[in-house]
Amino acid sequence: MKRLTTLVVLGALAVIAGGPALAQVSPQALQSISIPNKVETPIGPLDFFDGVPSRATAEKVYDNLDRMRGTGVFLDNVGAVSMYSVRTGLADAGAKGANRIALFAQLMDSQTLVVTANTSTLYAYTYTDLAQDGPTVIEIPPGMLGFLDDAWQRFVGNMGVTGPDKGKGGKYLVLPPGYTGKVPSGYFLLKPTTNRNFLFLRGSIKNGLKPAVDNITSKLKVYPLKNVAKPAPTEFVDMSGKAFNTVFPSDFSYFENLNQIVQEEPIDAISPEVRGAIAAIGIVKGQPFAPDARMKKLLTEAAMLGNATSRSITYHPRFAGVKIYPDDPKSVWSTAFANKNTSFEANGAMGLDARVLYYFNAGGVTPAMAATRAGEGSDYALAVLDANQQAFDGSKAYKLHLPPNVPVNDFWAVTIYDTQTRSQLQTGQKFPTIGSQTEGMKKNADGSYDVYFAPKAPKGMEGNWLQTVPGKSWFTILRMYGPLQPWIDKTWRPSEIELVK
């Protein structure tokens, strides 16, 4: 054994010394494992001495690495920072605390910046604070649609019509991460991995807005389990008509917000891989986030690149499952959930771009959003470019044609959005939505509809018109409430949105 070890060592020394063993390595192999002394790269020239980088080269490479890692962290945590921005936006507007419910009692208009929210639904939002309150009870009224998402905007569980109470109403108990205490009977259990969790509730206004509001305000209750004998009253803060922002930033403050989330949530809320990527840019649980001027500059650049990347993914996606009519290369109609996949995972892999596409443009995740059933629920189609696959120009006029017999059990609606904020476009129309329930909407003689997008309404078509803003772009969402089979099997389809000649 001693003789064998000596031979191995001698052989290794011969390789290092350039002895006979080195001659057995082909020039091609040597080239593949080496680097020239001068290298031209996308980040500029790099200098080496026989493979050893100069200090200036190392600094340049590290700048690039930190910027790339920052961009990756931006893209991979949009869901979390978006949820944080919704929470802080609601708190700034007066709805702070789990038992203070943000209720859009007069529906949501364009004053409020919420990504791709609509004007046809009664929304109610709140957030749990399990670290402070402990196990939290949520009493759901009958007839609700709702769900709970965790701090990284991952689905936890459904409530209401799609939940275990099946729309009859019921009591849910949200348990803190790692909870080992006694769990009383009589509750539907929800077990998130984070403390701050987003409660999303939607009330149907099919029978009128006032009954829907009364149903929520008289029956929805949120309180800590420890106060079950005498809970404090649940308060409702009317958010309608309030100008406040829930859209996440795309500058350095994005990373400051992410740091706050990391500090608030348990260590195992995210995997070591994700936590390691975040730690690589200086965000570590239990430690201050204090980047120096160099790192702050790089993270500011990373946020800008993350923003640009998210918008490129939105308007020019390069992955399958986004197009509603994939067999028509000219069609721009798309879905926010690629392949109707609300987890973004398939074949053991996370769909990184699909996740960005959704979280950058929408908020709140539940499988129910992608489970289309004939005559029930809703389904959405986005048009982010015109029929020529160009950005919509707010100074020009466009037309959308909906063929006869629009296949909906309830109603259809078209809402217009600002491409910068991804929120409702602010125009002279407080509620920038029109549809089959719009007063003054004209139907063509054959039962079809034409919808116009322009700075000024076409004469006599005011009820069929959505206002645009010169100098701004826009995009739109067609919502089908109670979509019927011709929509689902695509035998009925809307036109592309074309310039009016």
Q: Interior CA angle at 324 toward 319 and 327, to 5°?
A: 80
pLDDT per position as a tens digit, 70-82: 999 999 999 999 9
What DSSP character marks residue 340? G
> What pLDDT score was predicted for residue 23?
52
Helix (H) or strand (E) holding 480: strand 474-483
Joined tokens for residue 187: 């509750």
Per run of 10 residues, the mean pLDDT along the chain (length 501 residues) is: 43 44 75 95 97 98 98 98 98 96 96 94 96 98 96 98 96 97 97 98 90 97 97 97 96 98 98 98 98 98 98 97 96 96 95 98 93 87 97 98 96 97 97 94 97 97 97 97 95 97 75
pLDDT per position as a tens digit, 347-359:
999 999 999 999 9
CATH architecture label of 372-499? Sandwich (2.60)
Tell me how many degrees the CA angle 40-352-65 measures, rounded to the nearest 5: 30
Q: What pairing do the DSSP bridges indicate for beta strands 136-140 and 122-127?
A: unpaired
What are the residue ranges of CATH 2.60.120.600 in the chain? Answer: 372-499
What's the pTM?
0.93
* Residue 147 CB partners (closer than 8 Å, separation 6+): 155, 156, 157, 158, 159, 162, 163, 200, 364, 365, 366, 368
Domain with CATH 2.60.40.1610 in the chain: 79-238
Listed in sequence order, the residues at least 6 apart from 238 whose beta carbon sits closer than 8 Å to its beta carbon are: 103, 104, 105, 106
The yes/no answer on whether domain 79-238 falls in CATH 3.40.50.620 is no
User: Which residues make Cβ contacts (< 8 Å) with residue 320, sequence separation at least 6?
Assistant: 326, 338, 339
Residue in 172, 166, 163 with CA at minimum distance from that of residue 128: 172
pLDDT per residue over 50-67, tens digit each? 999 999 999 999 999 999
Q: Are 214 and 104 in contact (CB under 8 A)?
A: no
